[in-house]
Amino acid sequence: MSKVVFALGDDISTDDIYPGRFMATVLPSETPQYCFADHAEFNGKLKSGQVPAGSIVLARNNFGCGSSREQAASTLQGHGLVIVARSFARIFMQNAINLGLRVVVAPEVEGSEGDELEVGPEKVVNRTTGKSYGIVPLPKARQAIIDAGGLIPYTRKRVLEKAG
Amino acid sequence: MGQTVAQKILARAAGLPSVNVGDVVEPAVDLAMSHENTALVINQFLEVFAGTGLEPRVWDPSKIAVIFDHRVPAESAKTATNQKKVREFAAAQGIAKFHDVRGDQGGICHQVLAEEGYDRPGYVIVGADSHTTSHGALGALAFGVGATELASVWALGRAVNIQVPASIKVVLRGRLGSAVAPKDIILHLVGLLSAEGANFKVIEFHGEATSAMPTSGRLVLCNMSVEAGATSGIVPADAETVRYLRDEAGVADPLDLVQPDADAAYDRVIEVDVAALAPQIACPHTVDNVKAIDAVAGTKVHQIVIGSCTNGRLDDLEVAAAALRGRTIAKGVRMLVFPASWKIYREAMRRGYLADLIEAGAVVMNPGCGCCLGVHQGALGDGEVALSTTNRNFKGRMGNPKGEVYLCSPAVAAASAVAGVITDPRKGGQ
């Protein structure tokens, strides 16, 4: 069971997750400090270590829309967050899978900050409200990457196969 | 069942006779593009080879393009150091399609790929930038990816595990009215579809207004297709595509003008009568919050921006120069102009457009993306309002979450610069 530490609406852009003015910072080891930088309270909690790994960011439709900046995925991953949303924008979802950030698609999910969610393989149960919501599996095209632990190990395996 | 343009391109690139929507394929990549984020791509690319004992070499340096545009000239020591790292890597790997910070070439990546003739119909183009959708304007299947995915393409020469997307057919009927532009069409369409209406899908553009549109306008349509979530926007290649590539981009090679089959299956078909369109405005803070100009005319603005990969082309600067020639930008308004490339900048200079703009009070900047995404120059002050020909108006986009960004066409931006408030260019100067 994990707590919803940040509840958001529709169309949360990558500018919201990782503002463009921090784009010069690229390394996954350095991006976590700017996670939701314009949401001072949540950013402050993240930076002061008040948010345990495995905590949930809950959003509605089209989470991660906009820029392809991979910092938006690495900044969330750096804090060990799990993103549960009704839907995700394509590039963000791919970046998340490529980096191993956990994203969960639950098209009808409802919840508020402070709710306790249980994220299973097939459904999300909101233990606070008692309601449960189906999970849509991630695109089958991406399963091999998830199984390999991300796109870098997957590509490494392929490069080695090619080299024979 | 017939095939869409996206299906045909993916089938060819995957070495298959045909593909179905939902199939998982590994298309060979014809062009892989990145900008300053190449620094991260290099990092991830080297990580792929770590511990393998293999020398990290890109699969084909002739198919890689690297263009500095996001923070040029460097705004910080960090960026300058990353650009240095990229410059050295490009030289070591023999990447010839590398465009550094200089006035005799280069500019914003999406304009450079088109005008240098790197884009071709039928190509699979991946770019570590969401507006890579732009290149569909020349009949390519072009989509944005993250830095790690681009690193994977550098290593393998293929985009791995791609699910064949469905296509939405958009038929643009009629003729655009005076002072109404391709930007107004795409803003209207994004409003119609919503910010995720085309997520995981391709938008294929048809109709007489598409046929009549020059490549500069098609680049606007495809560029902003991603604002409806589209994987790609695509205009099937035609006589205009050939004209542009031959006459403007200097391409002499044979071209594969990939066409959809007459019985291709589309997810949905949308018809838009462009003759009925008024200038459109995307209001804060989402690109799909689109209104006809009457709803927001009169709104006070503090900063006007004309430029970017969306609307910084020669015809855009021509419209702005004509509107501002002999006039003065309103007091309290600053106007920033970012041509989309140095080629455009030099031609606008020769034609006197830049002089017209500067004499009216505009500040002409070097080609680049910095202002649009709020990372380099042109930030808004608290409570300020920008009216911009760029492509995004998300909260914080122009460097300040306490600012507001409205998106519009160059004609609207120029008329509004004179008036100091959002102004319909069809209603004349103030």
Q: Are B215 and B121 in contact (CB under 8 A)?
A: no
Would A148 be classed as within a structural domain?
A: no
Q: What is the pLDDT of residues B53-70, one digit of tens each?
A: 999 999 999 999 999 999
B117 shares a domain with B246: yes
pLDDT above 50: residue B169:
yes
Token digits for B44?
């991830």
Last residue of a domain, one of B225, B251, B272: B272
Mean pLDDT, residues B381-397 taken together: 97
Would A34 be classed as within a structural domain?
A: yes
B308 shares a domain with B159: no
Mean pLDDT, residues B352-362 taken together: 98
B160 shares a domain with B214: yes
Nearest to B106 by CA among B57, B56, B140, B72: B72
Q: What is the pLDDT of residues B198-246, one digit of tens each?
A: 999 999 999 999 999 999 999 999 999 999 999 999 999 999 999 999 9
Q: What angle do CA B69, B70, B74 make, to 5 degrees?
A: 90
Contact B195 A11 (CB under 8 A): yes
B219 shares a domain with B318: no
B189 shares a domain with B76: yes
Smallest Cβ–Cβ distance between A65 and the set B51, B82, B196 belongs to B196
Would A130 be classed as within a structural domain?
A: yes
Say what the pLDDT of residue A138 is. 86
Say what the pLDDT of residue B346 is. 98
Last residue of a domain, one of B241, B272, B303: B272
Q: For residue A102, is it left (φ>0), alpha (ψ between -120 and 50) or beta?
A: beta
Smallest Cβ–Cβ distance between A90 and the set B37, B160, B231 belongs to B231
B237 shares a domain with B291: no
Would A161 be classed as within a structural domain?
A: no
Q: Domain range spanning residue B356?
A: 281-427
B88 shares a domain with B23: yes
A33 touching B (Cβ < 8 Å) = no
Token digits for B139?
């009949």
B195 shares a domain with B55: yes
Min Cα–Cα distance to chain B from A143, Å: 9
Omega of the bond prior to B401 within 30 degrees of 0, cis? no
B332 shares a domain with B250: no
B250 shares a domain with B351: no
Would A143 be classed as within a structural domain?
A: no
Would A88 be classed as within a structural domain?
A: yes
Alpha carbon of residue A7 to chain centroid: 13
Q: What is the pLDDT of residues A131-146, one digit of tens each?
A: 999 999 987 778 889 9
Say what the pLDDT of residue B428 is. 62
Give the CATH number for residue A23. Answer: 3.20.19.10
Contact B146 A145 (CB under 8 A): no
**CB contact set of B426 (below 8 Å; sequence gap of 6+):** B177, B178, B179, B180, B278, B279
Whether ipTM tops 0.95, in short, is: yes
Nearest to A110 by CA among A136, A128, A92: A128
Contact A15 B396 (CB under 8 A): yes
Low pLDDT (below 70) residues in chain A: none
Contact A11 B399 (CB under 8 A): no
B264 shares a domain with B285: no
> How many inter-chain contacts (A to B, CB under 8 Å) are there?
162
How many structural domains comprise chain A? 1
Smallest Cβ–Cβ distance between A87 and the set B51, B196, B374 belongs to B196
A155 touching B (Cβ < 8 Å) = yes
Would A155 be classed as within a structural domain?
A: no
Cα B130 from Cα A12, distance rounded (Å): 16
B337 shares a domain with B357: yes
Global pTM?
0.97
Q: Domain range spanning residue A117?
A: 2-138
Whether the CA torsion B109, B115, B116, B118 is positive or negative: it is positive
**CB contact set of B364 (below 8 Å; sequence gap of 6+):** B337, B339, B354, B357, B358
Would A41 be classed as within a structural domain?
A: yes
Nearest to B142 by CA among B208, B46, B197, B65: B65
Cα B262 from Cα A17, distance rounded (Å): 43
Contact A20 B399 (CB under 8 A): yes
Measured between CA atoms, the residue of chain B closest to residue A60 is: B196
pLDDT above 80: residue B430:
no
Within A14-106, residue ranges assigned H as helices are 14-17, 40-47, 71-77, 90-99
DSSP B225: G
A100 touching B (Cβ < 8 Å) = no
Measured between CA atoms, the residue of chain B closest to residue A62 is: B196
Residues of B with Cβ-Cβ distance to A63 under 8 angstroms: none
How many structural domains comprise chain B? 2
Residues of A with Cβ-Cβ distance to B128 under 8 angstroms: 68
Q: Hey, is B229 helix, strand or coil?
A: coil
pLDDT above 60: residue B17:
yes
Give the CATH number for residue B388. Answer: 3.30.499.10
CA-only gyration radius of chain A, Å:
16
Give me the count of residues in chain B: 430
Last residue of a domain, one of B250, B272, B294: B272
